[in-house]
């Protein structure tokens, strides 16, 4: 990869850049250069930067799914405004660093993220005496990636424009 294309990749897709740079550092380390660099650990740290960013995006997407389910299924009237504000913040946090590679990753991970949320939420909702709403959750993720990341709000008779 040329320096110019590596620099452009850094600007366009940080996650892909970290993975490419880590791969190149590992390849360079295998050539046993006589340099005082800890190439193996440098490569791992760079790769971790990309994975940390990817994992943060996955976590925020799971939070959005969780709040969509609450907005859609919970009979509680409050704190809906807080949940809506949190969704808006997580969407901003995701969309700032979102690249093609990370978007594809989120698309692939969406079913698993939903399954984790669907399984864990009833335990979390038990503290609010709403564990039973977990029985209403669909088997498969009812939201597309565009709905999770975009300006979508789940339909519900329990909240409306006045509570937004």
Q: What is the pLDDT of residues 2-42, one digit of tens each?
A: 656 888 888 888 899 999 999 999 999 899 888 888 888 99
Give Cα separations from 109 to 58, 102, 144 (angstroms): 8, 10, 12
Mean pLDDT computed over 113-120? 96
Asked if the model's pLDDT at residue 77 lies above 80, the reply is no
CB atoms within 10 A of CB 66: 22
**Taking all residues of the chain, what is their mean pLDDT, rounded to a whole number?**
88
- Read off φ and ψ for residue 158, nearest 5 degrees: -90, -10
Output the six-digit token pair for 92: 């901003």
Q: Could you tell me which residue, 126 or 46, shows the higher pLDDT?
A: 46
- Give ∠ CA 104-95-117 in degrees, rounded to 5: 65
pLDDT tens by residue, 85-112:
999 999 999 999 899 889 999 999 999 9
Domains and their CATH numbers in the chain: 3-163 (1.20.1220.20)
Say how far apart CA 128 and CA 64 lie, in whole Å.
19
């Amino acid at each position: 990869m040329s320096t110019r294309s590596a620099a452009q990749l850094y600007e366009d897709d940080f996650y892909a850049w970290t993975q490419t740079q880590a791969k190149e550092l590992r390849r360079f380390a295998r050539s046993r250069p006589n340099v005082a660099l800890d190439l193996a650990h440098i490569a791992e740290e760079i790769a971790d930067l990309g994975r940390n960013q990817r994992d943060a995006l996955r976590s925020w997407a799971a939070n959005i799914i969780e709040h969509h389910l609450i907005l859609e299924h919970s009979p509680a009237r409050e704190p809906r405004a807080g949940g809506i504000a949190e969704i808006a913040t997580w969407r901003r946090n995701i969309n700032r660093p979102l690249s093609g590679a990370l978007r594809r990753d989120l698309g692939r991970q969406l079913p698993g993220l939903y399954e984790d949320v669907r399984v864990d939420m009833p335990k979390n909702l038990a503290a609010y005496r709403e564990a039973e709403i977990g029985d209403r959750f669909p088997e498969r993720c009812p939201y597309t990636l565009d709905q999770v990341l975009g300006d979508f709000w789940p339909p519900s008779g329990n909240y409306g424009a006045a509570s937004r």
